[in-house]
Amino acid sequence: MELTEEHRALRDAVRGLLSGYSTRVAVEQEAGFDAGLWQRLCKEIGVAGLAVPESYGGAGASLLESVVVLAEWGRALTPGPMLGCGVLATQVLLRAGDAEACERLLPGICAGDRIAALAWQGDVSADGGRLTGEAQQVLDAEAAEVLLVVAGGALWEVDISEVTVQAADVLDSTRRLALVGLADVPGRRVGGDDGLGPWLRDLACVALSAEQVGAAAKAFEATHEYVQQRVQFGRPIGSFQVLQHRLAEAYLRLEAATTASWTAAEAFVAGSPSASTLAGMAKVYCSEALQAVAAEMVQMHGGLAITWEHDAHLYLRRSYASAQLFGSPAFYLDRLGSALLAG
């Protein structure tokens, strides 16, 4: 894929801001991310509103611009609400088609002044406007002021003070997740779309695959640089053929993952009939590619890479945790297999 001039400018602007902040410091913040950085990204670049119409405080671009930002987010393993709030929550609000809710909620979200969490995985039922159940893997719930819940295929707005939010045990410390419990909680119906589930899953796969590609790219670059510097037996270890072959394979995985992610994003934006299949393929392949590249990063860095002081273990943790986020690769392989057999 070849980025446009505008995409490259956006990429460079985001990368420049992210390079000045420490992931390790950010995860120690009460919210789990650097709120000041999020404010800067929203107000100076508008990352949360890239795919939001200007009438609601956004930039009026498309999901492809958000994908460019998500790749940079993944490169830096930046903790923060870009995926959950800046993409999933904003897009599901727009999809629901409730103008009043969009006018009331989106300007604050786009400006970085309000964090929205989207609860859509788990077992939540809606009966007469009352919601009951538990949502899992909820991004940004601990910092959120707005809670959106998908139940019965429809979108509901819930007072976050009415629910319980419990931090989940996570392998990847750079991404906080929570369990959200709802016990006969009143909800306000947002829009009239009852078919949000499949569309939302495809969106989540596309967005996550962009993050995974960015993380894999950074892991590969750091490893390639390291093997040119590390000397063993009187020469750089990158000169050994076995490592050259392994790096070449990692590079091919990265290139294929980049193509899979971008192709899925383009199909999703275009509303292509193949969008769901391509989103599932991107989830599977980008998960496997990041795991493979991160594993090579750890191995080629030797023992240094399994200490807290080095970033390699953060990329390895991210690779395994993100592979299970929004459904495991095995889940999507089963869906893809069933679709092929049915076709």
* pLDDT tens per residue, range 311-330: 899 999 999 999 999 999 99
Helix (H/G/I), strand (E/B), else coil: 139? strand
- Print burial letters for 56-92: b (CB count within 10 Å at least 16), e (below 16): bbbbebebbbbbbbbbbbbbbbbbbbbbbbbbbbbbb
pLDDT at 197 over 90: no
Q: What average pLDDT is seen over the chain?
A: 92
* CA 297 to each of CA 37, 50, 137, 203, 286: distance values in angstroms, whole numbers, following the listed order: 28, 33, 27, 29, 16
Where does the pLDDT of residue 343 fall: very low under 50, low under 70, confident under 90, or very high at 90 and above? low
Name residue, tokens 């959950």. 84
Q: Residue 311: its pLDDT value, please?
A: 87
Q: Going by C-beta distance under 8 Å and a sequence separation of 6 or more, which residues neighbour residue 147?
A: 116, 117, 119, 141, 157, 158, 159, 160, 163, 180
pLDDT at 54 over 70: yes
Q: Residue 203: its pLDDT value, please?
A: 98
* CA 281 to each of CA 121, 210, 223, 257, 311: distance values in angstroms, whole numbers, following the listed order: 20, 13, 26, 10, 28
Side chain identity, residue 187: G
Q: What average pLDDT does the segment 140-165 reach?
A: 95
Q: Residue 139: its pLDDT value, please?
A: 97
Query: pLDDT of 107-118, one tens digit each?
Result: 999 999 999 999
* Least confident piece of the model among 61-65, 84-88, 170-174, 230-234: 230-234
* Least confident piece of the model among 31-35, 50-54, 260-264: 31-35
Domains recognised in the chain with CATH numbers: 5-190 (1.10.540.10), 196-342 (1.20.140.10)
Q: Would you say 41 and 73 are in contact if contact means Cβ atoms under 8 Å apart?
A: no
